[in-house]
A and B are shown apart, each in its own frame.
Chain A
Amino acid sequence: MPFKPIVLWTDALIYLLLVVIVFFVWYVRSNKHLLEPWRRVGHSTSGMMALTLLVFFITIGLLDTVHFRSAVENNRDTESGTIYSAEVLSLLDVIATPLRTRLEKTYSAPFATHLYTKETIELSDGKQVREFPRLVFGGANLQDPKTQFTADFASRAFIGLSFGIFIWCICAILLITLLASMGGHKFSETLSIIWRNETESPWKYVLLTLALIFSLAGTAITLSAHYHILGTDKVGQDVFYQSLKSIRTGLVIGTLTTLIMLPFAILLGIMAGYFKGWVDDVIQYTYTTLSSIPSVLLIAAAVLMMQVYTETHLELFDTIAARADLRLLFLCIILGVTSWTGLCRLLRGETLKLREMEYIQAAHAFGASHWRIISRHILPNVMHIILITTVMDFSGLVLAEAVLSYVGVGVDPSMISFGTMINAARLEMAREPMVWWPLLSAFSFMFALVLSANLFADSVQDAFNPRIKTSLIRIGKSRQGKQGNKLENKVVVSIIRDSTSP
């Protein structure tokens, strides 16, 4: 076998999360009333655009999650058969092999053809000069960068753009065909409906977002074949590659931490609010105590203990990746254990309010069990809080990772993350001339990721919370002013009717 699949701990948890999500989607699809609010999410323009971007990020993250060790060619015949490389690679690594392997000597600016620092170069005639040496890979195809660069850059960018738009066209045609067959219209009809934005979901804007992503990606891919489009870092590694690799770390920290925190927060928060009395006292004292310990210190202590353990038990890990991954998982766990208090407090308060609601009293009057009341009446009614907190935490956690890496207790130094990039930027920003691109790329990628997650969360919240129907109506109103899209208005009308009837 040319490779050996490796399932790291976080990989396993991500697969588990995927299975859960697939199951959830299947369950929602089979229940009409659960599907309804999700449909409303699908009708929100900003939500769908954000989701498109988010899917793009998640795809990269998932590609980076499939790990394996490739076989090493060996001349010796050994009994154990093939020997696998000690380096754990992911699918993304394979796709981005050129980016990964083309290392420069040190810093170089985006699209640079020369290094950022002067070096003493020995000329062929034995003289030594101090100048900016040419890069080994960046713009290596150019004979005379000064004159050729602009033309080369433009032609490559144009090719990349065309390539991206070509791929986009294929995707768009596939999507429209699919929509046409689902809606029972002809292809051309569907196209014109989408163009006039009369579909229930804002497909026009989804396609526009896709167009933007594909053209950017196409250009970036083509250009990155010959240039370091976001420059290189101190050890000459491509910053674009680092940014792509950081996406997975961010997603893992953001999702797994929340997953670990949710059971604590939900269970304890609802229990405290629902049972009151000594249960409430115990839980309250626990989280008050926990939140009065400076969490950075707690995390630092835990991570340092973990570090010592891994270093004294090196034999437990076959690869560096496995060790780094365990540290990442441990970081998720420790962040999860320390960050549940906020949500727990929110849920306790909401449950205290809900338990006095008359429908809960009615359920008591039916003799419903505590478990039934919690799961059927309280949990669905605090779901929007959980959802919102989860997504808000997502961005907070990605940032927390950066802070922890700054302190030196974040992810393993061998693991690329936004945090390590920003941490490195600390020194780079202090240089003269300033090295700004690693920070800028980390910032832009993180910004896009967090913003799309937040926008998506907003539209989910709008759709799920029955109390904030008005905002949807307002959207309907402003839209109606611009264009009279009938199908969408129908939805809005039904919502208005609902909200005016009582």
Chain B
Amino acid sequence: MTPLLKISNLETIVHKGLKPVRVVNGLTLQIMKGETFALLGESGCGKSMTALSVMRLLPEAGEIISGSVKIGGEDLLLLPESAMRNIRGRRISMIFQEPMLSLNPVLTVADQVGEVLQQHFNLQGIALKERILKILNQVGIPDVPNRMFEYPFQFSGGMKQRVMIAMALAGEPELLIADEPTTALDVTIQAQVLALMSSLQQYNGMAILLITHDLGVVAEMAHQVAVMYAGEIVETAARDQFFRNPAHPYSLKLFAALPGKKKREKGLATINGTMPLLSREFIGCRFADRCDHAWDLCHVSVPEWNEVTAGHQVRCHLFSKNSEYRVENPVKKVEISSQAMSAFQAPTSNPQLLRVTNLKVHFPIHKGLMKRVTGHIKAVDGVSLTIPQGRTLALVGESGCGKTTVGKAILQLIPPTAGSVQYDGLELVGLERKKLREKRTEFQIVFQDPYSSLNPRMRIIDIIKEGINSSDIKFNRGMSGGNPRSLISEEEKVDTLLQRVGLPPDTGWRYPHEFSGGQRQRIAIARALAVNPRLLICDEPTSALDVSVQAQILNLLEELQNSLGLSYLFITHNISVVEYLADEIAVMYLGRIVEQGTVDEVLGNPRHPYTQALLSAVPVIEFESKREIIRLHGDSPSPVNPPSGCHFHPRCHHATSICHTIYPEETAFSPTHITRCYLYSKERNLPHPQMQK
């Protein structure tokens, strides 16, 4: 069988400064018809550049210098640009990562899909309209005849991605390139989109080149997997082979870096160092500097392709037939030092460090000339939670459910509308600004985006000193025993902090743009730690980072908790991070907590239908375990006008009449495990949930 797409020895460079950056270096792969080929790798490894090279849509500075890209025997790199236009969208289409940016906001959805049809099939009038209808129906847009004439802003994120897919499919392509198609989406929406893609694939028999960094998505979707590192493929295998027996040390590290329940208390494996600059000349193996198993040969000779089993190839000297270096199990189990574990004893005096009761944050909607308040966005609508000293509470929910607002309202960065936030027995809501400022150093926040959370015009040392300087309190509390405040002690303190978060002290003199995402996040953590907080609110601190860097940050957070006794409110949508780090978990939906309990209780035995759906939607790597994904239809409703009764009822499979009218009360399964659902309520006189449909 001839492959549909065959890339051989593709070399793409980007002209940037003195030396060209070799973003893709000798890449060879082939994709069969009807196959999903996953290109897996961390950011900056050249995945997207490969895709753009195939489409010949490289940025201005990019250039393909050698190799061939053949689709059905036709070499795309030899075609003139005018012929390429008939390939793009017709034989190869592409879905981009950000659905919000990929649609033109001033054209209706029908216009944008129709553009492809006009270009490639020369359809007009009624035929065109019918075709658009059919395609949009195919991707699962509800009420197509009306909605097709709406503009992209009237669609939700998941729906926009569906429209993107519809546009890509309109030309009935043989190959679909999906560049991180679900990264910007929530897990429940991600599950919908992935399911849509695989069902369409079965229907059309097209091949998919799936570009992703998410091992879970790969496990769910792919037939073939290729792992990319620093511009080249280091391992390629069928999915089952890859997940059962990953061979390359880099792939192994990626697996080891994944957080999860089993790795609690053990720390995550991390990859030393960072990805090498691609502008540099490589002599040996590209991974050698970061590899635990590297030996002399790795640094001087480029490894060839070695076969592990049939169809499973790896580019590593460990598997070379004529290599003298043979070990029984070439990759030893990653050992993780468990020092500093439980070094800290939580003080028993005040176990509840933070107590939030019935917190509400409503944003008024102003309209008209006089800015009358016409309604409220109920971002947070009655949230209660407690965090004990030295423990971690994870706040889980999809985007837009108000979890970040909870974090900011606790810190009084957004004034709460109602409710109380008691920190260490002190009521923070309505506290005078002056008193609040004195207290502020004790609770700090780490933000999601490490790029916008550091002032680009300040040196690292100034950023870290910021907290010390801006609060007029005696910063020495607990650190060096009331020394007079002086410049030297401040700088020493900054140095210790930088070391504590794993950065060399000389970083202090540099500016944020010189650091990578992971390093910036460390700096942000160091800044928060500078004022000796007791509570740290981590607002999705790892969601912008790669898996290996995420592992470093999670390890750091865990170690800090153990040595300093910090309490964390961990806001995230990533369930595996929760499993790894949290003690307790609260699941939020549309401004309210629907289920709350310890990690084992909630994740092991989820009760609320939303929690169940959320957990089942998370792509997992252990694909042997047959699990059924509970598909939620539709998107989260708007918090401006939440559904009556239980907010979840429009999407719930178990909803009954009472769910439409009254919000359910709490039901307790254990002293810690609480949910709000009529399925378990005494007021309910209905049969068992599983019986309902």
Contact = CB atoms under 8 A, between A and B. Distances in A.
A33 B509 CA distance: 8
B457 A358 contact: no
A23 interface: no
A500 B413 contact: no
Given A366-B466, A497-B277, A501-B516, A361 B18 contact: no
Interface string B6-45: 0000000001111001000000000000000000000000
B173 to A, nearest CB: 33
Contacts of B528: 362, 365
A362 B437 contact: no
A156 to B, nearest CB: 50
Contact of A502 (B411, B458, B513): B513
A301 to B, nearest CB: 32
Contacts of B455: 359, 376-377, 380-381
Contacts of B577: none
B630 interface: no
Interface in A36-58: none
Interface string A381-399: 1010000000000000000
Contacts of A364: 413
Contact of A365 (B17, B444, B459): B444
B17 A473 contact: yes
B53 to A, nearest CB: 19
B275 to A, nearest CB: 10
A372 B458 CA distance: 14
A29 interface: no
A24 B438 CA distance: 34
B90 to A, nearest CB: 34
A35 interface: no
A502 B18 contact: no
Contact of A368 (B439, B445, B471): B471
How many chain A residues sit at the interface, stated as a range, is 35 or more
Nearest to A357: B452
Given A363-B470, A366-B467, A493 B516 contact: no
Interface string A344-382: 000000000000011101111111110010001100110
Interface string B451-492: 111111111000100110011000000000000000000000
A493 B17 contact: yes
Contact of A369 (B16, B470, B514, B531): B470
B515 interface: yes
Contacts of A496: 16-18, 279
A367 B438 contact: yes
A500 B514 CA distance: 9
A73 interface: no
A492 B18 CA distance: 8
B259 to A, nearest CB: 23
A365 B413 contact: yes
B447 interface: yes
A76 to B, nearest CB: 66
B440 interface: yes
B515 A476 contact: no
Contact of A372 (B443, B463, B470): B470
Contact of B440 (A366, A372, A466): A366
Nearest to B459: A33
A363 B15 CA distance: 39
A363 B17 CA distance: 36
B514 A362 contact: no
B155 interface: no
Contacts of A369: 437, 470
A493 B448 CA distance: 30
B277 A367 contact: no
A380 B466 contact: no
Given A367-B436, A500-B279, A362 B527 contact: yes
Nearest to A477: B17
A432 interface: no
Given A359-B452, A477-B15, A501-B514, 13 more contacts: A358-B452, A359-B463, A362-B524, A363-B470, A365-B528, A367-B437, A368-B471, A369-B437, A372-B470, A473-B17, A489-B18, A496-B279, A502-B516
27 contacts: A357-B452, A358-B447, A358-B452, A359-B454, A361-B445, A362-B447, A365-B444, A365-B445, A366-B440, A366-B467, A366-B471, A367-B437, A367-B470, A380-B457, A381-B457, A466-B511, A466-B513, A476-B17, A489-B18, A492-B17, A492-B18, A493-B18, A496-B17, A499-B513, A502-B516, A502-B517, A502-B520
